[in-house]
Structure 1
């Protein structure tokens, strides 16, 4: 009898699953298919062909996909190769606490070439639960003064290293990374800064004192371990995260995922000082035949010839940096930005940085096993944006960088206790 198993059947989305089919005919070719429906009703699916071994078994830890959405040995390939039925749709979890994504796994005989899900029954199927918060994680809405966001706390007593989680400048509140960080032992504040509740829908300036208030709020919390906090940030959020590291002594560990080393579009203000953005060349905005916007070049012409005053003075930061770069980022030339920033540190005698640069990875580097989103629609701006990335190297970058982010934060946020003899 054919059996399909996946262990664990219920787990965090960043945890691997061991998928195995048994009871097949020796050397039989089968089709494995994965699918899920997000909270908005959008469908995502993937598939791969496998050949059973001499005892009639397909073990994805060892078996090589013969074709489909990927080729080769990729135990989690069915997850990170999920693609939307409706193009330009990003898989994004909204309710991270109360419901998991449910992933359907199905196995078909390979002689079923065209599968009509309404009429074609699989040989065997099962459902997996993929959670964004571990049991015991608590979610606390934050509305203190002008701060808006959500604080996630790990289960258990004691104090936890504190992290502020910042996403790009398209607005709203994104919680999935903060909830996963809390699941791994961090007190994580998902912080909104525009177009959320009573925050302005459009920013005229970035007020760094707002982010200073957030850092102080986190450090005051009785379950947050001091004396410093971390920042995990991407894109516009990484511009802000870099500025926080420069100006705020509270920030001692900063993760910059595909961020610039200059100010984007609107000025930053801190204690009366105004810091101007890098001028842009809007005529260099690339629009593909499909209508996708590629922003990389509108900054690049100016960045390449700008004088030093336009680049953020990263050498003034006292904490540590982890740069994560997708070399196929179509949004910002983050490889060049990170190179410039690290050279600036090196010239000033600093060794407080680590650079992870991933060929083939795009802009949206997320926790592991998330499908690549190489382009999506930004509804608030009525734009179709090209993010870049190739499926297999992007998946490898997500898996490696997520482990490195956690190691980096623990190293620089958890004090080393030395015992006295």
Structure 2
């Protein structure tokens, strides 16, 4: 049991900056300890569902009685390498009996409490605030013309290059991600397309005209540079980003994380994969469908009864060879995209083979002599949730989910690998956007 006492006046815990964007680096130092003294630093916060998340790391002070958390390797803890953000991304949920995701979709800031303990006694503490929205940001809710979304605008007047941020198969919208991007100077639109208010409940028969309407609306905004619009998505959102870029010339850049360059089926009740996801002019776009078989059901039950993570990557990989005609018809014409393309994938993706999908996209772009730049960032040990807008720097990564007792859905990677990929890919994505889109002063 930890004994909570007043902070010892001789020990100081300094964290800089104490209030900053969530992607900014941290400096964390302890001073006033005894030479070679062992100290444990703990972090604690709550996610968007008010679940408590914690991490810790134990260090040995130097001969001057100081610890630099940013440059020292912990001797024990929830991470084991030199990492200035380790005490943030390595947090795990203390309220959950099963693996869950760190819930965050709103742009409210995170308050993180840090304590330093020596022999079970708290000797120093402080609190920091990690922001998604920079001060002065303008927020415009959208509920018109059948559109559901939120536009985040920088404090400075535009016009600004714009980015549409697309969710994956969970639906809704990721406002915190849009706010963070807007904090870097973009007009960022978090756009829902199912699973919100009057929109379809599931990823089924979503008309591309909906996104065309969103593009027209976005181009009409005074603070938006209508000539410089990008789309970003991960997973099914990455597939959609490629599809929209190949369909609408107004889109001038695409970032697709863990993408499929092949149109996949819709999702009905998380069990039926036989209907289309996307339509155009009232017609279903060609897609690869899947049917549950006795063997696939047996495999699922085997994993459930043995509490083993169930993964789907093998089924998607097999479809590339067993459903060649279907795959060919459903392949997205990525060569039609009117601008640069950035693909990001994890080599241990256990949902679907996003690295293989990305390689096929790169091969197609080369085959058709795509006139714009295209790049594939590959993180060998990372899983499905490899980058923005699902994996943000310093947030706990998504590895596994347990929706029911004994049922585990594996998405691949490790906390360390996924966190590292999120931290590394984020500035590279910002550099890509700055190059691909004409930045306004």
Do Structure 1 and Structure 2 share a fold, with TM-score over 0.5? yes
- Cα distance in 2 for partners of 1:213, 1:355 equals 30
1:40 is aligned to 2:49: yes
Residue aligning to 1:115: none
Distance 2:403 2:429 in 1: 27
Pick aligned residue for 2:420 from 374, 396, 399 = 396
Asked if the contact 1:168/1:234 (under 8 Å) is kept, the reply is: yes
Cross-structure match for 2:373:
352
- What value does the CA root-mean-square deviation take over the aligned residues? 2.1
SS at 2:232's partner residue? strand
1:299 aligns with 2:319: no
Are 2:397 and 1:372 aligned?
A: yes
Q: Does the aligned pair in 2 maintain the 1:282–1:298 contact within 8 Å?
A: no
- Residues 60-71 of structure 1 correspond to what in structure 2 (within 5 A)? 60-71=69-80
Cα separation, partners in 2 of 1:377 and 1:192, compared to 1, 3 Å: farther
In the alignment, the residues of structure 2 paired with residue 165 and residue 39 of structure 1 have an alpha-carbon distance, to the nearest angstrom, of 19
Q: Does 1:327 pair with 2:366? A: no
Q: Distance in 1 between matches of 2:395 and 2:352?
A: 21
State whether residues 149 and 189 of structure 2, in contact with CA within 8 Å, keep that contact through their aligned partners in structure 1: yes
Q: Distance in 2 between matches of 1:102 and 1:388?
A: 29
Give the 5 Å matches for 1:22-421.
Answer: 22-85=31-94, 86=96, 87-97=98-108, 100-109=109-118, 111-112=119-120, 121-266=121-266, 267=276, 268-280=278-290, 282-283=292-293, 284=296, 287=300, 288=303, 289-290=306-307, 292-305=309-322, 306-307=324-325, 308-350=328-370, 352-365=373-386, 366-377=391-402, 385-414=409-438
Q: Answer whether contact 1:368 1:398 (CA < 8 A) is retained.
A: yes
Q: Does the CA contact (< 8 Å) of 1:161 and 1:410 recur in 2?
A: no
Distance 1:23 1:281 in 2: 64
Ranges in structure 1 where 5+ consecutive residues have no aligned partner:
113-120
Q: Counterparts of 1:218 and 1:416 in 2: how far apart (Å)?
A: 16
Aligned residue pairs, count: 404
Q: Deviations over 1:35-84 (max 9, x none)?
A: 11224221111111111112111012221111211112111100010111
Which TM-score applies when normalising by structure 2? 0.87
Question: Shift of the alpha carbon at 1:298?
Answer: 2.3
Q: Matches of 2:308 and 2:222 in 1, distance apart?
A: 49
Post-superposition Cα deviations, 1:201-241, rounded to whole Å, max 9, x if no partner, equal: 12431211111111121111110113131011011111111
**SS where residue 122 of structure 1 aligns?**
strand
Q: Report SS of the residue matched to 1:189.
A: strand
Contact 1:141 1:150 in 2 (8 A): yes
Identify if the C-alpha distance between structure 1 residues 166 and 32 changes in structure 2 by more than 3 Å, giving closer, same or farther.
same
Q: CA deviation at 1:295?
A: 2.1
Contact kept, 8 Å, 1:279 with 1:302, in 2: the verdict is no
Contact 1:103-1:129 at 8 Å conserved across structures: yes
SS across alignment from 2:122: coil
Once residues 440 and 137 of structure 2 are traced to their aligned partners in structure 1, the CA distance between those partners, rounded to angstroms, is: 25
Q: Go from structure 1 to structure 2 and tell me whether the alpha carbon gap of 1:226 and 1:8 turns closer, same or farther (over 3 Å shift).
A: same
Q: Distance in 1 between matches of 2:376 and 2:156?
A: 33
When the two structures are superposed, what TM-score results if normalisation uses the length of structure 1? Answer: 0.91
Give the 3-state SS of the residue equivalent to 1:123 in structure 2: strand
Separation in structure 2 between the aligned mates of residue 313 and residue 145 of structure 1, nearest angstrom: 29
After superposition, give the CA deviation of every residue in 1:320-364 in whole Å (9 maximum; x if it has no partner): 110010111111110000001100111112253111000211212
Structure 2: gaps spanning 5 or more residues: 1-9, 267-275
Q: Quick check: 290-299 or 330-339, which moved more?
A: 290-299
Separation of aligned partners in 2, 1:175 and 1:329:
25
- What's the CA shift for 1:17? 1.3
C-alpha spacing 1:281/1:66, structure 2 compared with 1 (3 Å): farther
Query: Does 23-32 or 179-188 show the bigger shift?
Result: 23-32
Checking the alignment, whether the CA contact within 8 Å between 2:160 and 2:440 is kept in structure 1 is no
Is 1:11 matched with 2:20? yes
The 8 Å contact of residues 194 and 200 in structure 2, kept in 1 or not, is answered as: yes
Distance 2:35 2:63 in 1: 5
Contact residue 313 and residue 352 of structure 2 kept, 8 A: yes
